[in-house]
Amino acid sequence: MIKRFTATALAFAFYISAFAQDTPDAAIVQKIRKEGLENSKAMDIAFNLTDVNGPRLSNSPGLKRAQEWAVKQLTEWGLKNAHLEEWGTFGKGWQIDKYYAATTLPYYHAIIASPKAWTPGTNGPIKSDVILIKADSVADLAKYKGKLAGKIVMLDQGNPLQSGLKPDFVRYADTTLTKMAEAKPQAAGDRQRSGNGNNMMAQMMKLREIRAAISTMLTEEKVGLILTYARGGQGTLFTSNGASYALDAKPVSPELEVSAEDYLHILRLLRAGKPVEIEADVKTSFYDQDPKGYNVIAEIPGTDKKLKDEVVIIGGHFDSWHAATGATDNAAGSTVMMEAMRILKAIDFKPKRTIRIALWSSEEQGLFGSRNYVLKHFGDPKTMALTPDQKKVSAYYNLDNGTGKIRGIYLQGNVAAGPIFQSWLAPFNDLGATTITASNTGGTDHQAFDAVGIPGFQFIQDPMDYNTRTHHSNQDTYDRLIEDDLKQAATIIASFVYNTSQREAQIPRKELPAAQPARP
């Protein structure tokens, strides 16, 4: 009876202690809210990242301009050790210097399109009848040999457009957030496999073989320009790369991704036997003088003798695609993280733990900036050989799902962190941030930290028009940013950072992941 009472008393005391250390300081929260919601510089930051510096494709002049600006801005706010940190070799940079294309027959019409990343230009203006290539097998290509030099060509492909039955612009419904909150932790590697997986893989391999053969033939034939069908609709096109950025990449042909409406217009005419003539002038530049990749790093140094060597890291990827200015993907996340650091400096916060911001490069090509940073500083997920500094990171917080306001946070299965974060969200419930989900989310830089056992988190954000209109598209511009949402997100993250830096203990950790050897 005495032992039971003692154990119960100790458990209760531990609960009270834990609750006390995770209850946000109301005065500090109010300071953060006032600075973040009333004196925000978020839209000015976003303006500089997008309208002023332009597209930030990996290793492009635009990315380098933006990185240099960020280092300067963070330094002016009083952050320490702001610098560009090399993470390894990326490859060639690339940018569009000029683009123009239009049909001239059967009548003049300017074409909505974008050169594919890392493809060459047309070496001056060209004008040509459009040749439609129909090929269901590699053997079908023989009939085109010797006939394509200098020509503008397109493939006989394209999906019929459907009128949108769903709204482009959405926020999470309460019912959706409730389902997220009720989710159970996901088992690692738990994937649903379809019964026809082998058949689908065979079809994909056949399609890849044909596409590779077509690409090789068109380059050998020295075609003037390739038109390809871009995913999207209503004037929106989602862009991609059309060639390798490797320093020793093989030559490819000039290529335009054409908006669905314009591509299908041309395709219908050609299928009906009507001649189509196009004029175009595309100029692109490659940059290989410095093939290294860099991240932007800066800090607010810790002040506690025991804890100053520990670190709280926040970040988001700084690079973008090239058809617009990468506003929601991911100037929004980078803006919020920079603004969070500005808020903490503006209230003259002296953290116990060091607070570090990292703005990653080359996320779009495979999380290269964050993965190589983690590999250099914290450990290798392939072997799980970890450095001493791995134990010094309390948490990493990431933002990379568009302009939508924060509705909560993904725990990545780290259920022990749930009650802590619930307490930290409580002062912002009135701003719509309420949801804690045990679910995982992927596709961005928190995964690099999670892979080596560092608590890495991504926030839940309202979808807005991210997946329908802006993600990797020619519509991803400053105008798509929602000012109040960016203010809200920066304010909440600044508070999370404050609480993490001051907490007596680090954020709880999951069981260390197993080594993930490279696939053969």
DSSP string across 327-383:
IIIIIHHHHHHHHHHHHHHHTT---SSEEEEEEES--TTTSHHHHHHHHHHTEETTT
Structure tokens at 477: 């511009």
Pairing of strands 152-155, 126-133: parallel
The pLDDT of residue 209: 76
The domain ranges of the chain are 23-90+291-502, 93-172+209-287
User: First and final CA of the chain: distance in angstroms?
Assistant: 60
* CA-to-CA separations, 329 to 12, 334, 392, in angstroms, rounded: 45, 9, 30
As a three-state string, the secondary structure of 262-282 is HHHHHHHHHHCCCCCEEEEEE
Residue 342 in contact with residue 298, Cβ under 8 Å? Answer: no
Written as one letter, the residue type at 192 is Q
As a three-state string, the secondary structure of 418-483 is HHHHHHHHHHHHHHCCCEEECCCCCCCCHHHHHCCCCCEEEEEECCECHHHHHCCECCCCHHHCCH
Sequence-ordered list of residues with C-beta below 8 angstroms from that of 180, at least 6 positions apart, any chain: 408, 435, 437, 439, 460
Q: Is 394 helix (H, G, I), strand (E, B) or coil?
A: strand
Upstream peptide bond of 388 is cis (omega within 30 degrees of 0): no
The pair phi, psi for residue 204, each rounded to 5°, is -65, -40
Sign of CA dihedral 343, 349, 350, 351: negative
Give dist(CA 270, CA 382) in Å, integer.
51
What is the model's pTM?
Answer: 0.92
CA angle 492, 498, 499 (to 5 degrees): 90
A 10 A CB-CB count for 178 gives 12
Per-residue pLDDT of the chain (520 residues; tens, 9 = 90+): 443 334 333 333 434 444 456 899 999 999 999 999 999 999 999 999 999 999 999 999 999 999 999 999 999 999 999 999 999 999 999 999 999 999 999 999 999 999 999 999 999 999 999 999 988 877 888 899 999 999 999 999 877 787 666 788 899 999 999 999 999 887 654 434 344 456 666 666 666 777 788 888 899 999 999 999 999 999 999 998 889 999 999 999 999 999 999 999 999 999 999 999 999 999 999 999 999 999 999 999 999 999 999 999 999 999 999 999 999 999 999 999 999 999 999 999 999 999 999 999 999 999 999 999 999 999 999 999 999 999 999 999 999 999 999 999 999 999 999 999 999 999 999 999 999 999 999 999 999 999 999 999 999 999 999 999 999 999 999 999 999 999 999 999 999 999 999 999 999 999 999 998 776 5
Give dist(CA 341, CA 497) in Å, integer.
9
**CA 267 to chain centroid:** 33
The pLDDT of residue 78: 98
CATH topology for 23-90+291-502 is Aminopeptidase (3.40.630)
Which of the four CATH numbers 1.20.1630.10, 3.50.30.30, 1.10.443.10, 2.30.42.10 does domain 93-172+209-287 have? 3.50.30.30
The pLDDT of residue 12: 36
The pLDDT of residue 2: 40
Give dist(CA 240, CA 300) in Å, integer.
37
